[in-house]
Each structure stands twice: as C-alpha cells, then as structure tokens.
A = this chain, B = another copy of it.
Amino acid sequence: MSTTKNHVIGVVHPGLMGISVANALIEAGHRVCWCSENRSAASAQRAGDYSLHDCETLAALCNECDFIFSVCPPAEALVVARAITECSFNGVYVDCNAVSPATGKSVAQVLSASGAHYVDGGIIGPPAWSAGTTRLYLSGPRAAEVTALFEGSLMGTVSLGEAVDAASAMKMAYAGWTKGSAALLLSLFAMAEHHGLGEALKQEWALSQPGLEKRLNSIAQGNAPKAWRFIGEMQQIAATMEDAGQHPGAFESAVDVYAAMADFKSSPAHDITVEAVIRSLISTSKQSAS
C-alpha cells in the first residue's frame, strides 16, 4: 500500500480523542479541517492549539474533504452521519465510535443516500500522544485507504479485512472486558459495603486476589469522571451481545453502575475517592428501591 499525503480530511469533533486523531493525520502530512458551528469553546480551543482549519459549517467541511472521521459519543454516531449525508458528502466516512455492529451498519446505510463510503473504525487505547499506546482498528472495502493515511503518525492501525462490522465488534469485545469488569467490581464492592463488609472483603483479597483492591481504587477514580459517557457504550455492548446470541445482562448492570456515577463528570478530582464512588452506587440503589 503506497503512502498517501496531502489529503484534506475532516474530523468531527475534536474532543479529547478526536484531537489526537486530527494530530496524527497532520503529522502524517494531511490538511485537517473541522467546523466550529455549534461546537464548544473547549473544542475551539483544541482545534486552534493544533492548527486545524476551520470550515465553519458542516456543509463547507463536506465540500472540502475527501475523508471525514467521526469521533463522538456512541449516541451521536447516527446523528452525525445523517447530518453529513444531508450535506451530500460522497467521500470516505470513517466511523471511529464505540458502537455495535448493528449501529455501524445503520450508519453505513444512512451514508449510502449521498454516495459516501463507510469504513468501520474502533479506537483501542488512550488518545494517541505517545507511540504504541493506541490502535485504530479498521474494516471494510475502503479500509486500506484509511490505513495509508496514518503512515508515520503516532496512531497505530490494524486492518480487520473487508467485513463492514469487524472493527465495531472488536471495540465492543475489548471494552466489554475493561469497562464491564470494572462495573462488576464496583457493583460487588457496593453490595459488600451495603452489608458492612468492605474492609473484610479487602482483607480476603489481600490474601487470595492480589492487586484487586488496587484495581478497585484505580477503576473508581479513573472511571468516575468518564462514567457519563460510558452509559451509551454499555448499551451498545449489550445490543452487540444480544445480537451475537450472548446474554446482555452484564452490560445492563454496567449501564446502571455508570449512570449512578454520572454526576462525577463535574466533580473536582480530589472529591473522587473510592468511598465517594461506592457511596454513589449505594445511595442510587436506595433511591430506586424507594
């Protein structure tokens, strides 16, 4: 596959992950655009910091770009695709969102109305600010062109072949463990605390599950500020499990757990202790029981 440079590429939206995708594409020699219409001051600040070109409107962005990357919360994936189609975009559209294969296929179908080409993407890892931390999984008939865009950048790519839904399924399976097991551990610890047994459970873990208390602490503090946006992702994984013939219950539980933690979005970091997070799970359950 030959290296490609000098494409004009749109990134909607330059959030914490999106800006690292944009930066990788700039590193690889492309011109990267966004549009400031209806976006937050934080997005505008990030776009400015990394010298993204502002097309101002989505219509202008769709007109200028050969490729568009969608990096947004899962619940927005279809909304963004519809808006792009209404702007008659007919280039290559890379959906990088944590959505189920079924949602991905719906995005593909929406795009076909304007003749755009869907490529399925799934990002595993943190925003790509260091080499080797982050991989963009890609699949679909036009995936190879997207892989080529990132050559020489901090964003790794892995091709999963021609299937239109492989990258989405990969992201669901991976995040299902990291975020699903985290929700399970938090919820079990909340149950133990409900019985006044948190300390006893930690003592047993110290003997027979080394590292688990540390994992609980790191999960509580790491996931609480982001829990609000895990809710939609857990719903997508539940649907993916059901479509694959697996019971979706673990992710219905996880939706509940992250919903109970959603208010930590706006908490100062020093208020996010494991005790506070567990308390939020216990008090939410008391509210819904009453």
Q: Say whether B197 contacts A170, CB under 8 Å.
A: yes
Q: Tell me which of A43-51, A88-96, A158-166, A223-231 binds B.
A: A158-166
> Which residue on chain B has the smallest CB distance to residue A256?
B247
Q: Look across to chain B and name the residue whose beta carbon is closest to the beta carbon of A172.
A: B191
Contact with B along A146-169 (1 / 0, CB 8 A): 000000000000101001011001
Task: For chain A, give the interface size range.
Answer: 35 or more
Which of A27-35, A68-76, A265-273, A279-287 lines the interface with chain B? A279-287
The 8 A CB mask of A232-251 against B (1 = contact, 0 = none) is: 00000000110011111111
Q: Which residues of B contact A166 (CB under 8 A)?
A: 195-197, 200
Choose the segment among A78-86, A109-117, A179-187 that binds chain B (4+ C-beta atoms closer than 8 Å): A179-187
Q: Would A200 and B244 count as touching, CB distance under 8 A?
A: no
**Which residues on B sit within 8 Å (CB–CB) of A196?**
163, 166
Q: Are A187 and B241 neighbours in the complex by a CB distance under 8 Å? A: yes
Identical copies in the complex:
2
In the complex, what residues of B have CB within 8 A of residue A125's CB?
Answer: 208
| Interface majority SS (helix, strand, loop, mixed), chain A | helix
Nearest residue, chain B, Cβ from A160: B200
- Residues in B whose Cβ lies below 8 Å from that of A124: 204, 208
Q: In the complex, which residues of chain B have a beta carbon less than 8 angstroms from the beta carbon of A177?
A: 184-185, 188, 209, 212
Known: A281-B246, A289-B245. Contact between A188 and B195, CB under 8 A? Answer: no
| Cβ-neighbour of A288 out of B135, B245, B253 (below 8 A) | B245
What CA separation (Å) do A157 and B253 show in the bound complex? Answer: 33
The 6 residue pairs across chains A and B that have the minimum distance between CB atoms: A245-B285, A249-B249, A249-B253, A249-B252, A173-B192, A169-B195
Could you tell me which A residues sit within 8 Å of B by CB distance?
101, 124-125, 132, 135, 137, 158, 160, 163, 165-166, 169-170, 172-174, 176-178, 180-181, 183-185, 187-192, 194-197, 200-201, 203-204, 207-209, 212, 240-241, 244-257, 281-282, 284-286, 288-289
25 residue pairs from A and B, CB less than 8 Å apart: A125-B208, A137-B200, A158-B203, A160-B200, A170-B195, A170-B204, A173-B188, A173-B192, A173-B195, A173-B201, A176-B188, A177-B185, A177-B188, A180-B184, A180-B188, A184-B184, A184-B250, A187-B246, A190-B246, A191-B240, A194-B244, A194-B246, A245-B282, A245-B284, A249-B249
Question: A163-B195, A170-B204, A172-B191 are known contacts; what are 13 more A-B pairs with Cβ within 8 Å?
Answer: A124-B204, A166-B200, A169-B197, A173-B197, A173-B201, A177-B184, A177-B212, A188-B241, A188-B246, A241-B253, A244-B285, A245-B285, A249-B249
